Amino acid sequence: MPRVSDRQRIAQDIRDKIASGEYAPGDKLPSLREMTAHYGVSAEPVRSALLILQAEGLTEGHQGKGTYVSDPK
């Protein structure tokens, strides 16, 4: 089985939490610092994962306020 990159693993974990309802629309995701500690990685893979999720329309980033789960359209 090919090794999954940290950013893919993190993105999938957040996707699963959104799908399960653990993170509901409008919820603020944990801070970058909290996520780097939780996943045991540097900030870069967390940032990359959040960009993937934004591109998929699952989350919205608000400068200086954090990242939120999008309302499904």
Residues 6+ apart with CB under 8 A from 73: 57
Tell me how far apart the alpha carbons of residues 43 and 48 are, in angstroms, rounded to a whole number. 9
Tell me how far apart the alpha carbons of residues 60 and 53 are, in angstroms, rounded to a whole number. 8
Tell me how far apart the alpha carbons of residues 60 and 68 are, in angstroms, rounded to a whole number. 5
Q: What is the pLDDT along the chain (73 residues), one digit of tens a residue?
A: 678 899 999 999 999 999 999 999 999 999 999 999 999 999 999 999 999 999 999 999 988 899 999 987 6
